[in-house]
Structure formats: C-alpha cells, structure tokens
Amino acid sequence: MERTLVLIKPDAMIKRLAGNIISDLSFLNLKMIGLKLVNVQRELAEQHYSEHRNKPFFEELIKHITGELHGNENVIAIVYEGENAISKIRNFIGKTNPDDCEPYHLRGKYGKIHTKTNCHETVVHASDTKKSAEKEISLWFEESELV
C-alpha cells in the first residue's frame, strides 16, 4: 500500500478543470483518503518545491503554485492510497513538459506551456517517490485529516 499527494494547481482551477481531473483520476481505482482547499502561502510553496530552489524557473514556479499568476486561485490537495499509487498517478499525468505528453495523459489533455513566461502549466502535481510522498503528505496534511 502506498500513499501519494496530488495537487490540482491554480492553472487547472482557473480553467475549471478540477472536476474533470478528479473524475479522470477516479478511474485509477485508488482510495481518496484526504482532500482540502488551500490558498498556498509562499512558505509552504518553498518547502514543497525545495528541491528546485536553485533552478531558473523557481520564482515563476512559486508564483504559479501560490496562485499569483492565476488571480490568487487556490489549490486542491488530495491524498490517494492504494497499490503502486505513486507510479500509477505519475504514469497517468505524463511528462513535465505538456508538449511531450500523449492526449490521454492529464497534462497532455489539459496542460500547456505559457507562451510569454515559458511556465509549464502542468495542471497537477503528484509525488514521484515514496520519500517525497511522505515529505509532501506531512507538509500538506495533519495525520488526523486523513480518513
């Protein structure tokens, strides 16, 4: 059994895609065990994306996840549990660059590269390893919020 964190990012929220994304994810047969709406503050954003601190796209990424680029939009944070939950969801969302995804990937279907900023509007975040899943779930959820 694995747990993984999914974030429906502000670019997806502003395009009213949250329902479609949750619906698409439901076909993976994982159990939703936590869900909340978060107005992401800079501190949480920087902790969540700490591995990218020195990347050229970091500042844009923080502005993206905090909603600054999308009318202060919120994020929906979800914890899914199930066998191979991490790889199941990663395989379903596709690659980081939406242009490299197939149409059946979440990012292929809904994502895009912002033409002006080059920001990868990837619509969702999903944990990529057990270690990052544990770190991210404890960052976004109290244990008592998981049902």
Query: Contact positions toward ligand CDP, by CB under 6 A?
Result: 57, 60-61, 96, 119-120, 122, 125, 128
Residue pointed to by tokens 């990937």: 105
- CA dist 47 and 79 (Å) reads 18
CB of 144 to ligand CDP, least distance (A): 28
Of 32 and 119, CB closest to ligand CDP: 119
CB of 147 to ligand CDP, least distance (A): 26
Tokens at residue 83, please?
């066998």
CB of 115 to ligand CDP, least distance (A): 13
| 16 in Cβ contact with 100 (< 8 Å) | no
Residues with active-site annotation: 125
Q: Which residues of 49-67 are buried (b: 16+ CB within 10 A; e: fewer)?
A: beeeeeeeebebbbbbbbb
Q: What's the burial of 13, exposed, middle or buried (CB within 10 Å: 0-12/13-18/19+)?
A: buried
Of 4 and 122, CB closest to ligand CDP: 122
Of 119 and 145, CB closest to ligand CDP: 119
